[in-house]
Structure 1
Amino acid sequence: MSVPCILVSTARGFSLQCPAAGLLRSRLLGASSIKRRNMSSRRQMDHLEKTASNGRQNALYPAQVCGIIKESETVKRLRIAVHPDFSFKAGQWVDFIIPGVEKVGGFSMCSNPGLLQREGVIELAVKYSKHPPAHWIHTTCTVGSHVAMRVGGDFFFDPSPSDPSVDLLLVAGGVGINPLYSILLHTTDLLHLNQASGGRDYNIGSTHLCYSAKNTQELLFKRSITQACQEFPDKVSCDFHVTQQSTDVDPHLQPFVKDGRITEAELRTRVDPKRTLCYLCGPPPMIEAISKTLMELGLSKDRIIFEKWW
């Protein structure tokens, strides 16, 4: 993954807080040097290479899997109990280190900081693949499995109470929903805070999610997303775009489902160059096409924040 449109910093050394940290430090430094070489376009860069220039926290924390949920036919959601000092911002990812597995995984949190504060856990939704970390999650991981994690990434939404109000446009393709779902949950937490304080805590604008998948079965978190729209109808909205639906859409989803890809016409209704802040995550071709469209609609580059998943 990469985040070309936002400020990134060079990766720092890992804090030696667990046995895997020394190994991960050497991998990260190796990745930085490898990235400077001319690599074959046929070889896919791994997570550490892709994110070598991204910001990372110093600490590497031990963690334990405390729940496994089948989110869809191809996606498992892990609940992971973390160290009390672990923290993250909505939209960030973790370096995911598995004892005995050489490759380091890179997975965005699909939970929000509020869940961490309330329950001391984070959640990751991981699609099946033969990449060793994802394959381990789908074939070997059990409740009680131990891992280590380190937070990184410059793709996040973390407003302060004094920040001016913005309208969020979240655009997701496939499992690119994970960091955007974290951001959406975070905005609903802020809306709840505002309800409790009479609107004195945060300047919260609207949030609209455009989420594209092949069919409704592959739409992750759809029930929770629609519940947020129903709880805050003046603040939260979404459109589920399905491109290869072969069965009837469930009645409760029908008001939110649109056939086909996300269109320029839809984006135009959601873009205000002075207020809109857009977060995009998904396959590179989709991100590139939508970024181009958004700029043609008058949205400046500094208001388009994206993360590509290969």
Structure 2
Amino acid sequence: MSVRCLFSPAARSVVQLSPAAGLLCGRLPARSSATRRSMSSVRQMDHLERTLSNFRQNALYPAQVCGIVDESETVKRLRIAVHPDFSFKAGQWVDFFIPGVETVGGFSMCSSPGLLQREGVVELAVKYTKHPPAHWIHSAVCCLLPSQCTVGSRVAMRVGGDFFFNPAPSDPSVDLLLVAGGVGINPLYSILLHTSGLLHLNHASGGRDYKIGSAHLFYSAKNTQELLFKSSIIEACREFPDKLSCDLHVTQQSADVESHLQPFVSRGRITEEELRSHVDPQRTLCYLCGPRPMIEAISSSLLDFGLPKTRILFEKWW
């Protein structure tokens, strides 16, 4: 049975979340700039404040957790069945509303629009923190939280973000350079999967749809255990060796790298020489997501290589 069947026609109408959430599933007004100005500039901004100037859809849709797996020791991947009208572009995030939890989460989707189209689900990979939405996803029953995240938990989500890859069939081809650090891989994995899906469509049409160039992923994490989605990334690169490629970096690996990963994994940080070999100022479009120092250093290097500022896109989660 399609997961879309989880949502009856009644689900298309307004649905009330808990009083703590204080929101309706429907069309919501954006928060005013005056509200943001009244917030303290000393404390760290929450997700809604930080993304106030970003595009976000008005519609807030009901959703239901239909799968939970451990992606690593610190990251859980949620599989979420969504409303039939839900849509997003590869690289975007969701406002994540949990009944009974006051704080709204913000998580980039790590799945592709193609998976949504085929199965009616999206996926989120969430690292453990004490931030209430992430804590809810990771915690067992806890006195501080109204419930725990389980298969069947009902939530609500709203799509937002200006960081996405959504080419039209008639658009000229570009070469993608994707650079990720830690869980910053989430939106870039979505973009890589979407690129792979477009390559399949192009192959099926005999080359008539989507002019897809190459895509190269640089991905850095502490160790191979924290390299999320590594098997799927390598599989995609092997499926389209002339189009997709990757360099996986580990910065704090003490054990030997597994033999099947060795051709793809390097120790140490991403170097300027490696970056430069994948930059063509006329063709490269770069997407960056990771820790702030990494993004700032790589952005500076790319500018030094002659890549126009307009072709360097980054998602800031700080």
Contact 2:29 2:58 in 1 (8 A): no
Tell whether 2:26 aligns with 1:18. no
Alignment partner, residue 241 of structure 1:
249
Contact 2:237 2:244 in 1 (8 A): yes
SS in 2 for 1:91: coil
Q: CA deviation at 1:37?
A: 4.0
Alignment of 1:201-216 (within 5 A): 201-216=209-224
CA distance in 1, matches of 2:134, 2:54: 22
Out of 219, 240, 246, the residue aligned to residue 227 of structure 2 is 219
Contact 2:109 2:122 in 1 (8 A): yes
SS in 2 for 1:178: helix
SS in 1 for 2:110: coil
Tell whether 2:205 aligns with 1:197. yes
Contact 1:16 1:60 in 2 (8 A): no
Contact 2:28 2:60 in 1 (8 A): no
Contact 1:18 1:60 in 2 (8 A): no
Q: CA deviation at 1:284?
A: 1.1
CA distance in 2, matches of 1:281, 1:228: 20
What TM-score, normalized to structure 1? 0.91
Alignment partner, residue 29 of structure 1:
31
Contact 2:224 2:257 in 1 (8 A): yes
Q: CA deviation at 1:26?
A: 8.6
Query: Is the alpha carbon distance of 1:26 and 1:207 closer, same or farther for their aligned partners in structure 2, counting shifts above 3 Å?
Result: closer
Out of 269, 281, 290, the residue aligned to residue 277 of structure 2 is 269
Out of 160, 174, 182, the residue aligned to residue 174 of structure 1 is 182
Aligned length: 294
CA distance in 2, matches of 1:184, 1:229: 10
CA distance in 2, matches of 1:149, 1:308: 20
Alignment partner, residue 63 of structure 2:
63
SS in 1 for 2:31: helix
Alignment partner, residue 300 of structure 1:
308
For structure 2, the residue ranges without an aligned partner over 5 or more in a row are 1-11, 140-147
Tell whether 2:291 aligns with 1:283. yes
Give the aligned residue type for 2:91: G
SS in 1 for 2:263: helix
Give the share of equivalent positions with the same residue, in percent. 79
CA distance in 2, matches of 1:294, 1:264: 9
Out of 232, 239, 254, the residue aligned to residue 240 of structure 2 is 232
Query: Is the alpha carbon distance of 1:240 and 1:39 closer, same or farther for their aligned partners in structure 2, counting shifts above 3 Å?
Result: same
Q: CA deviation at 1:38?
A: 6.9
CA distance in 2, matches of 1:278, 1:37: 35
Q: Report Cα offsets for 1:41-96 as digits up to 9, x if no partner.
A: 3x111000000111011110000000001100000000000000000000000000
Alignment partner, residue 11 of structure 1:
none
Tell whether 2:226 aligns with 1:186. no
CA distance in 2, matches of 1:284, 1:16: 41
Tell whether 2:251 aligns with 1:250. no
For structure 1, the residue ranges without an aligned partner over 5 or more in a row are 1-14
Bigger RCO (CA 8 Å, 6+ sep): 1
Q: CA deviation at 1:39?
A: 3.0
CA distance in 2, matches of 1:26, 1:163: 33
